[in-house]
A and B are shown apart, each in its own frame.
Chain A
């Protein structure tokens, strides 16, 4: 298996849940024998874990009120107009 193209491509397909059974078997077999690809695969998975670990951020207080204050003036309700 060509590491640079084929194996790395399969790793990404794996990460997107797009691998067929046959491709998965091929990738596993390759990873068992190729240390560089093992490392590459590990780094990719670790990268994703790290991205996901950056934590949640909350909006500033009064965010909703500030948005409401910026909205154009309310039109008369349809129900009153009828």
Chain B
């Protein structure tokens, strides 16, 4: 598959737009899923995932074919999701406690996202709870937890995607796991 993608990218670089369709079709579920998990909202996920592919196409000449295309594509998508998260709530931090609300933070004031129809009914409640807890993590931890455990990237690959040192990836994954452990231990 990696070879097929490499060939398609070469064609795209030569100006063959139609070849890009196969690239999008191949990565659409992965990138859409990544955006959904980062953003926790289907509309934003679709919007940002589409934008990621458009950016990849427009900037295809800056992609170095010696590197993995998926890493490059995930980097674009991740950066776009983080930009979107930042733009969403410019006036306050979500995890800041509300004064006088007795420990309630802004998360508890937000509506939860509607569950996806694809999810199975039997464990829907638990799954959406876990998903919600992941989506409440600060973005720098959330990104790494998602890339590692839902998208199965190695820590080294994550360091490439995010362009941060491996040591930082490790520190963040430790903190992300601890944060989730605390949230999920009583379930």
Chain A residues packing against B (C-beta within 8 Å): 8-9, 12, 15-16, 18, 40, 43-44, 46-48, 50-60, 63-64, 66-68, 70-72, 74-79
Do B130 and A44 touch across chains, with their CB atoms under 8 A apart?
A: no
A-B contact pairs, 15 of them (CB 8 A): A48-B149, A51-B149, A53-B130, A55-B118, A55-B120, A55-B127, A56-B33, A57-B32, A57-B37, A58-B118, A63-B32, A67-B50, A68-B24, A70-B50, A71-B20
Decide yes or no whether B77 CB sits under 8 A from chain A. Answer: no
Count how many pairs of residues, one from A and one from B, have CB atoms less than 8 Å apart in the complex: 113
CA distance A51 to B181 in the complex (A): 10
CB distance from A33 to the nearest CB of B (A): 21
Decide yes or no whether B1 CB sits under 8 A from chain A. Answer: no
Do B149 and A52 touch across chains, with their CB atoms under 8 A apart?
A: yes
- Contacts of B80-117 to chain A: CB distance below 8 A: 116
Cβ contacts under 8 Å, A54 to chain B: 127, 130-131, 134, 150
Do B58 and A72 touch across chains, with their CB atoms under 8 A apart?
A: yes
Cβ contacts under 8 Å, B50 to chain A: 63, 66-67, 70
Cβ contacts under 8 Å, B42 to chain A: 60
B interface SS class = helix
CB distance from B148 to the nearest CB of A (A): 9
Do A57 and B134 touch across chains, with their CB atoms under 8 A apart?
A: no
A57 is contacted by which of B58, B116, B123, B173 (Cβ under 8 Å)? B116
Cβ contacts under 8 Å, A78 to chain B: 14-15
CA distance A68 to B150 in the complex (A): 27
Decide yes or no whether B185 CB sits under 8 A from chain A. Answer: yes
Decide yes or no whether B16 CB sits under 8 A from chain A. Answer: yes
Using an 8 Å CB-CB cutoff, how does the interface string of B47-88 with A read, 1 for contact, 0 for none? 001100110011000000000000000000000000000000
A59 is contacted by which of B16, B28, B187 (Cβ under 8 Å)? B28
Do A64 and B118 touch across chains, with their CB atoms under 8 A apart?
A: no
With known contacts A54-B130, A58-B32, A64–B184 Cβ distance under 8 A: no
